[in-house]
Amino acid sequence: MSVDVGLSSLVAEPDEASLRRHVTTHPLLTGLLPSSSDLAAQIAALKASHSAAQRRYEKSRQVAHDELEKASTSLSSFRSRLDALPTRIDELDDEGDSIQSSVQRERPGLEAHTSSLRSLQAAEDYYALLSRTETTGKECLASPLSSQALERLAELVNLARYAESLCPSSSSSSSSASLQPRPKLLAFLSTNLDETYEALVVARSTQLREALKDAGWPPLSPEQAEAQGKQPRSPSSLLNDQAAVRTAWDSLLSLQIVGHLLEIKARPSLLLGQGESESDQVKDVPAPGSTTYTPLLGTALLLEPYLLRFRYHFDSDQPTNRLDRPEWYLQHVLQLIRTLSPLYTPQGPARRLCLPALHRYGRALDHESVEPQSEVVHVLLRAVQAKVGSSMPLLLAGSQSQQGVHTSLLGHTLSSLSQFDEDLAELLGPGTSAQKLAKGLLEDGEYFTAWLAAEKRVAEEGLEEILDDPEAWRIGSGEEEEDENDQDENATSAPGISLASARTSALRSTRSSLSLVHLLSTLSARLAPLPLTLSQRLQLLSALHLPLLRSYAQRLTRSLDAFESLSSAFARSLSVPGGGVDASGVALGDSSESMVRGLRGLSRLLKAGLSARGVLGWLERCREESEWLELSDELLRSEEGRRVLKAQSDEAEQRELDGESLGALIRKSLGSRGAARGGAAAGGGRGVGEGGAEPASGSVWDEMINKYSAVLSRANEGMHRLIVSEVSESLLREYAQSEWLDERRDDQENEDEDEDDSGGMAPTPSLLPALTLLHTHLSHLYPALSSTSSSADARARHRRIAQDLSRFVVTKVVLAGGSRRFTLRGAERFRRDWETGWAPVVRGATMGARGEGAWRFLRDVGRLLSLPSSSSSSSAAETETRTGEGEYTLARAMRVLWEGGEEEWRAMCDALELRSRELTGDRGLAREVVRRRVECMLR
C-alpha cells in the first residue's frame, strides 16, 4: 500500500500553478532565445533524461510489486498461526491441570520429608552446640585464674549468640518441632554462661580474699595493735606494695570488665562516664546505695571484714544491737566512710590497683567523672538498708499494737535516718549524691501510713495528758514551764530526740497552753528535717497539727460557753439580791453564781484568754516562718491543696457542731448575727493581743488563727464586762445614792477632815468598796496582760475599762437626778474622790501615773463641777493653786458655756486643764455638768 502511494506521487500530473511557474522560470523564456543548435542539444538532453526516468519508474514499480507479494505471504502465515492459538491454549490448560493434580497427590509426602530434614538439621545443630558449650565451659573452668579462661568465656558468649541466631523466632511460620528446642537450648546456654562466670568470680574472689588475709587486712585498731605488740598501720599503708593483692585484684577486675564487654553483667558504676568514644560514655551515674549501682567486686571483698563486724555488733544478740539506738550503727557507718574513703582517692591504693586492668582494656580511669568514695558509700549503705529493713517490721508491729515505746521509736528512727542523710551529704560534699534512707522509707506507703498513725496517737495522748493535768490551767511563765519540762524530758524522752522549746521566757500563760505550744514546736522541729513531699506535708498538717489545735480551741470554747450559761453579768444592770461580790473580790450568793463572779470568774476568763493568746502567738510566728510560708504557697497554688484543706475544715466544723449542745448552737447563731450587725462596734471590744487577729489570706493557719482570735475576743470582752459590771454594781449600792446637798453632812465631813489634817484627806466612805474591788481586779488582771503582750495593748484594755467606768460614774452620780444636786462642798468632795480614791487605785494597780490618763473624763468632770462660786470664796485660793489662774469661777464658766465663743471655751479648757475629748468636744455635756451646781439657775 505504501509503495503504491509513492509511485502515484512520482507519476502524478503537475498542477497548473506549478506548470506555469516552471515555464516562466525556464531559462529559455527568461533569458535570450537560444540558437537552434542549443535547442537541439536541450531536446536531446531532455529525451535522455526522460528515458532514464522511465527506467527508474519501471524498476521502482517492480520493487514495489515484490514487496507487496512478500507482505501478502507474511500476512497469510500470521493469520494461520492466530487461528491455531486457541487450540494450543486449550492443550496447555489440560497439561497444567494434569500437573496440578499430580502435585496435590505428592504434597503431603514432600512436606513430611521437608519437616524431617529440618528436624534432623536442628537436632544436629542442637547437639553440636551442647557439645561445644560443655567442652568450652570445662576448658574455661580448668584454669579459672589464667587469661585463657577469659578467652573461653568469650567463646561461650559467641556460642550463645550463634544459637540465638540459628533458632527461629516465635513469629516465624516454622513447624512446632523446631520451636520446642529453642527455649530449652537458649536457657541452657544462658545458665551455663552465668554459672561459668560466677565460678570464675568465686575462684578469683577467693584468690583476692586469701591475698588480703595474708597481707594482714583489715588493719588492727590501735588498741588491738598495742595488745599484740604490733605497730598500728593505716588501711592505705597496709595495701601499698602488696604484689599478691595487686595480682588478685587485677585478675578479678579484668573478669568484671570482660563480663561487661561481653554483656554478661552491668558495667561497674565507678567506670561510668569513661570510654574511648562518646557512645561508650554514660551521663547519668546511679546514686550510691541504689539498686542500679554496681560496685567493683574488689571493693566488696575489701569491706567484707567490716561488714562482718557490722552484722556481729548490730544484727545479732549483742548488747549493741538495740532497737532504740539506731544512731549507734549510723554513726559507726559514718566513721567507716571517713576511714576508708582515702583508699579511693586519686593516689589511693585501691585506685592504683585498678589501673593495670583499665589500661589493658583501653579504658583509662578519669578521676573527675565519678567521686571515688562512692564505692565505699554504696557497700556500707546497702548494709545499713538491710539493717533498717529488718528493724522496720518490728517498729511497725509495735506501733500497730499501740505500745508507746515502739510508737516513739518509729519517729525516732526516721529522725535519726534523716540526720544521717544530712551528715553523709555534708561528708561527701556536692560531688556525690547518695541514696536517701529516710526518703526511701517515707516513699513507702505502708511505712508512712504506720508512722503517721503512730505520730498521731502520740500527739493525741500528749494533748490528753496536758488537759488531764490537775495544774493544766495554772498561770505560769515560760521559764517555769521550761524548767519542769526539761526535767520530764530528761526522764522520759527517747534517746536522741531533741525537745527544744519555742516559747518566750517572759510569756505568762496557762500551763496547758504553754505545754501545747511546746508539743507543737517539738513536733514541728522533729518533722522539719524530714524529706517530705507536698502531699505528705499536707497529710501531717491535717493529721497532727490541726486536730490538736482544733481540740484545744474546742475545749476553750466550751469553757466560755459554760461561763456564759452560768453568768448573768452580761444582762444585768442592777445588783441581784443576795448576790454580788465583797470588797475583796470574793463572790457572794450561791455556788453556781460565785463561779462566774469576782476573782473566780475573772480568773476563768483570764485563763481562757491567756491560753488562746499563747497559742495564737505561736500561730502568728509560724505564719511568718519560711517553712510554713512555702507550704502555704504550694498548697494554695495547687487545686488539690485547696480542696484538701477545705475538706479538712468542713470535717472539723462538722465534728464541732456534732459535739455542741443546743444552747451553745443558739448562742453561736445569735452571736454571728450580732457580729454581722455590729461590725465596727464589735471591733472595739478587742482586747490584748488582738491587733494581729486578722490573718493574712493565703496561710495554712488561717482557720486556727480565726478560731483562737474568736476565743480571745470572747474572753477579753467577758473580762471587760465582768469588771465594769461588778464595779458598777458596787457603786450603785451606796455611792450613787449619796446626798451631795446635805450641808450638815458636809460640815461633819469638814470637821473630820480638819481633825485628820495631818493624815491627809480620804475619799467618800461609800466609794471604798468599789475602789477596793477595782483595785483587786486590776491588780489581778494587769500584770498578766502586760507580760503577755505589748504595753500598748495592755493600756488599751485599761483605757476601755476606765472609759466605761468614768461614763458610768458621770451618768449615775453626776447627771442622774436632775439639775442643782451639788453644793460647792459636795462638788469638791466628788473631785476629792478622784484625787484621793480613783487616782491612787489606778496608780497602784496599773502602770503608775501614766494610767491616770485613761480616767481624764472623770477627772475633768470633777474639775468643772467643783469650780468656786466666786473668787472671794473660801476655796478660791485652792482653785488658784490648782489651775494657776484665779479668774475662772462658776459664774465665768457659765458665761463662757452659754454666751462665749469657741475660742473662749478652748481657752477655759486649757486654763482648767480639761483634756477629755468627751467633755471638751461636747459643750452641751459641759452645760449639763455645770447645771448640777445649786448656784446655776440657767436652763
pLDDT tens, 325-353?
A: 899 999 999 999 888 888 887 778 888 88
Per the CB < 8 A criterion, the answer to whether 201 and 209 are in contact is: no
Extract the C-alpha cell encoding 651.
Answer: 470535717
The pLDDT value given to residue 668: 52
Type and span of the H or E element at 146: none
pLDDT band, residue 655 (cuts 50/70/90): low
Mean per-residue pLDDT for 906-913?
Answer: 90
Look at residue 374 in the predicted model and tell me its pLDDT: 83
Residues in the chain: 939
pLDDT at 746: 46
pTM: 0.67
Rounded to 10 degrees, what is the CA torsion of 35, 40, 46, 50?
160
Which stretch of 77-81, 252-256, 361-365, 528-532 has the lowest confidence by average pLDDT? 361-365
Question: DSSP letter string over 84-126?
Answer: HHHHHHHHHHHHHHHHHHHHHHHHHHHHHHHHHHHHHHHHHHH
Residue 408 to residue 268: CA distance in whole angstroms: 41
Which residue type sits at 776?
Answer: T
Positive or negative torsion for Cα 88, 90, 95, 96: positive
**622-639 b/e (C-beta count within 10 Å ≥ 16 → b):** bbeeeebeebbeebbeee
Q: How far apart are CA 184 and CA 191, in angstroms?
A: 10
Q: Let me know: does 252 contact 297? Beta carbons within 8 Å.
A: yes
CB 538 within 8 A of CB 448: no
Which of residues 878 and 658 earns the better pLDDT score? 658
* Confidence label for 283 from pLDDT (cuts 50, 70 and 90): low
DSSP-based three-state secondary structure for 508:
strand
Q: Is 686 in contact with 528 (CB distance < 8 Å)?
A: no
Residue 649 has pLDDT above 50, yes or no: yes
Residue 260, exposed/middle/buried by CB under 10 A (0-12, 13-18, 19+)?
A: middle
**What would the mean pLDDT of 25-39 be, rounded to a whole number?**
71
- Residue 493 Cα distances to 361, 400, 408, 419, 487, angstroms: 58, 20, 9, 18, 10
- Report whether pLDDT(880) > 50: no
Spatial neighbors of 502 by CB under 8 A, at least 6 apart, are: 517, 518, 521, 525, 618, 621
Contact by Cβ (8 Å): 812, 921: no
pLDDT-based confidence at 648, cuts 50/70/90?
Answer: low
Q: How many CB atoms lie within 10 A of CB 214?
A: 11
Instruction: Report yes or no: 200 and 140 within 8 Å, Cβ to Cβ.
Output: yes
Q: Do the Cβ atoms of 783 and 846 come closer than 8 Å?
A: no
Query: What pLDDT score was predicted for residue 328?
Result: 92
In angstroms, rounded to a whole number, what is the distance separating the alpha carbons of residues 877 and 283? 101
Q: Which residue has the cell 462665749?
A: 900
The one-letter amino acid code at 688 reads: V
Question: Is the Cβ–Cβ distance between 866 and 827 less than 8 Å?
Answer: yes
Quick check: 804 pLDDT over 70?
Answer: yes
β-strand partners of 509: 476
Q: C-alpha cell of 688?
A: 490584748
Confidence of residue 399 (pLDDT cuts 50, 70, 90): low
Judge whether 809 and 829 are in contact, CB under 8 Å. Answer: no
Question: Which SS3 state, helix, strand or coil, does residue 1 take?
Answer: coil
Picking from 616, 621, 576, 623, the residue whose alpha carbon sits closest to that of residue 715 is 616
Phi-psi region of 296 (alpha: psi -120 to 50; beta: other; left: phi over 0): beta
Torsion of CA 126, 128, 130, 136, to 10 degrees: -150
The band of 406, judged by pLDDT with boundaries at 50, 70 and 90, is: low
Say which residue, 368 or 97, is predicted with more confidence: 97
- 277-290 mean pLDDT: 63
State the Cα–Cα distance between residues 157 and 189, nearest whole angstrom: 9
Q: pLDDT class for 489, splitting at 50, 70, 90?
A: very low
Q: Please, what sign has the CA dihedral across residues 508, 510, 513, 517?
A: positive
Looking at the predicted structure, is the pLDDT value of residue 210 above 80?
A: yes
Lowest mean pLDDT among 127-141, 150-164, 389-403, 465-479: 389-403
Task: State the burial class of residue 609 (Cβ atoms within 10 Å of its Cβ: 0-12, 13-18, 19+).
Answer: buried
Quote the pLDDT of residue 185: 75
Domains with residue ranges and CATH for the chain: 266-272+286-443 (no CATH), 446-476+506-571+594-667+700-715 (1.10.357), 763-870+887-936 (no CATH)
Looking at residue 569, what is its pLDDT? 44
Alpha helices in 341-373 (DSSP H): 349-360
Give the mean pLDDT of the chain.
76
Give the residue with greater pLDDT, 504 vs 548: 548
- The yes-or-no verdict on residue 686 having pLDDT over 60 is no
Q: Going by C-beta distance under 8 Å and a sequence separation of 6 or more, which residues neighbour residue 472?
A: 466, 510, 511, 512, 515
What's residue 667's pLDDT?
Answer: 52
Helices assigned H by DSSP within 469-545? 478-492, 511-527, 534-540
**Which one-letter DSSP state was computed for residue 581?**
B
**Residues contacting 885, CB < 8 A, separation 6+:** 911
Q: Which long-range contacts (CB under 8 A, 24 or more apart) does 693-698 make?
A: 693/616, 695/623, 696/623, 698/632, 698/633, 698/636
Q: Which residue has the higher pLDDT, 600 or 672?
A: 600
For residue 429, what are the contacts with CB-CB under 8 A and spacing of at least 6?
none
End-to-end CA distance of the chain: 155
What's the whole-number mean pLDDT along residues 714-724? Answer: 88
Q: What pLDDT does residue 820 have?
A: 78
pLDDT at 202 over 90: yes
Name the H helices within 567-597: 591-594
Q: What are residue 765's phi and psi, to 5 degrees?
A: -55, -35
**Among 891, 861, 894, residue whose Cα is nearest residue 876:** 891
pLDDT of residue 788: 55
Please indicate whether residue 866 or residue 870 has the higher confidence score (pLDDT): 866
Calpha distance 188→542 (Å, rounded): 57
Q: Is the predicted pLDDT of residue 590 greater than 70, yes or no?
A: no
Distance of CA 44 to the CA centre of its chain: 129
Q: Which residue has the higher pLDDT, 755 or 80?
A: 80
Asked if residue 860 lies in contact with residue 921, where contact means CB atoms within 8 angstroms, the answer is no
Confidence of residue 393 (pLDDT cuts 50, 70, 90): confident
Whether 123 shows a pLDDT value over 80: the answer reads: no
